[in-house]
Structure 1
Amino acid sequence: MTTTMTFPEPEVEALRGGPRLRWGVIGPGEIANDFTTTLHAHSDQRVVAVGSRSPERAAAFAARHGVPAAHGSYEALVADPTVDVVYIASPHPQHLEHALLAVAAGKHVLVEKPMTTSAADTRALAAAARAAGVLAMEAMWTRYLPGTTVLARLLADGVLGDVRLATVDVGWPHRPDPADRMFDPVAGGGALLDAGVYGHWFARFATGAPVTSSTTGTVSDRGVDLQSVTVSTATGSAQAVVSTSMTAWTPGLAVVAGSRATVRYTDHFVFPASFALHHGADAHVWEERSGLRGRAGLVWQAAALARYVSDGRTESPVHSLDDAIGVAAALDAARAALDGGAGRPDGASPSVPERDTSTP
């Protein structure tokens, strides 16, 4: 039976009327296009410069979005005095290099997830940002969505009781193509770094940091993870099951089950989404009412970062650098468990036949 209850208000930063930053973009690809589109359409944040190794790509991006400055190098972008914060939207193996470049120039950074391709590199980036006194934040944008902030408050207030189990799946199919970076280990390919980062973050968010984990999955003949399932246990015995795939589509209907109540998403949890809270036979629905859909939801993390900078913070209070390191460590463990080099920090991988693997 569906009933009504009073849910907490979303704890999101106002998209207009708050602190405003001038953004520079490194890597004018698809995600940067969506990021810039929603910033300009739904917030006071403004992209004022873009940098690319290709002056033509930078110029085309600038013209498309009305961005004043287009730079033909990353060095010129981070040196631009009109830029307050740099959004790192290059392929993940380049995140560390580009973020360190911006940090060295004294710029704040929002780094697309995964922050880097290993826990060691994420630690290096965190140390550099802390030493420079600039804000560095992983672009775990799902954490800043209205519904996620409501769920965070329900968890903090004990509405679900003791969390016992979280299940989450993220899968988007990719047609096998040797030219696609998703199938290239050197380019940071594989399902875990691309989609699995969401699932492993959600498991940590819902149950806490994993103490033990076990991963089984399928690896390509180039050593790239195609699909995996990770079962982890956190302090207090809460367990999580994370399924990730780039060979099949999954609905992303995450569940957090507690001793008093259970939350079940009714839309894909990665995007602005609604969910139901079940308590026995009663179901209470929290509806996503912002009107923003899909990647338009990228805007909330930018507004949050602007507030953090205004408040003098150098880390996100809801997804800290230690949280980013923890997610990277979980991905390291899952990739390493799949063997074949998929978990190696250098991205190297021997050629191995496609196979199923199971590692305790």
Structure 2
Amino acid sequence: MTTQTRVRPISGKRDIKAFIDLAYRLNQDDPNWVPPLRSEVAGTIDPKKNGWFSHAEAQLFLAERDGRPVARISAHIDRLALEQPPEQGFGPGTGFFGLFEAEDWDAAFAVLNEAEAWLAARGTTRVLGPVSLSVWEEPGLLVRGHDHAPVVMMGHHRPEYAGWIEAMGYAPAKKLLTYELDVRQQFPPIIQRIIASGEKNSRINVRRVDKSRFAEEAAIILGILNDAWSDNWGFVPLTDAEVADVGKKLKPLVFEDLIMIAELDGEPVAFMITLPDLNEAIAPLNGNLLPFGWAKLLLWLRRPKVRSMRVPLMGVVKHLQSSRMASQLAFMMIEYIRRAAVSEYGATRGEIGWILDDNQGMVAIADAIRSRVNREYLIYAKPIAAGTLNQT
């Protein structure tokens, strides 16, 4: 007799622990899965510690058999996403699922169905996922690149998940790409000439961020980001509350020579953020800072030596996009950070992304510096009937 799979909303500290721990059990045999710090995962799902909840609501679910967790999921609605133009991917009626993990198909079906029902009861007519939790955190399901470990703040998922999600009636809505390159190699001569030309242009100033003015520099970057990305698929503006929380989380990873702001005629118009790959430091800790993990991490953060660097965000103000100036500023920032990454941190590879597969400007830049796609993520979509329990 088959044991019934039961799904319930989580409640209380014991459920939160079970929700978090499930991912460690299901992925423990994957040599390329990097166990995140449990404290970071707990902070992500805690409304008191994640500014995203200031404009969103979420319900977390666990599926169990005989009291044993076998799947988990989040169902969430982002009020700012509802306000975006539908042609940009989100808009009215859009809900999301995320934080998806499942032991088998039956468990996957159970939690996906429960998430859809929760969203439908709140008027949702379309579900996108996985998005965990914000589109600025870990969007998409890994469908290519399972053979190597992810870098900091990138997801890694079991290969069978794609088939299970598609079997529930979901279809790909958007592809996200990451590109990798050998940062020890000089860029092609034409790129070097573009950079040299920019260095002779008195209108251009590319500078490091000043960590002593962290809040001010973060505000500059946020202003450029919300302008530069505002027409992109899936754009949701970052709020001050989110920036404050992300700032607390990422400040230890902020190194002044790895984050650049480009100014044109004295006005900030572009930025590039690069992070040393924290995953290299936390992979051996199995998600725990105790008893000695915290000391090892603190030592690493003083001046990390890493193999990989990740560029999670870069942007140029909208009025310069598609111009030669935009490309020139981008190449200058990339080159200055490449030099520092190699000489000061011992990096040998860089990873850029995620990048929307139809973002022609960023894809062209990635191609020009001879990088190649190494990972692909899919965000899936499915229509549902608002107010009804969806049975697939």
TM range (shorter): under 0.3
Larger RCO, structure (CA 8 Å, separation 6 or more): 2
Instruction: Report the structure number with the largest CA radius of gyration.
Output: 2
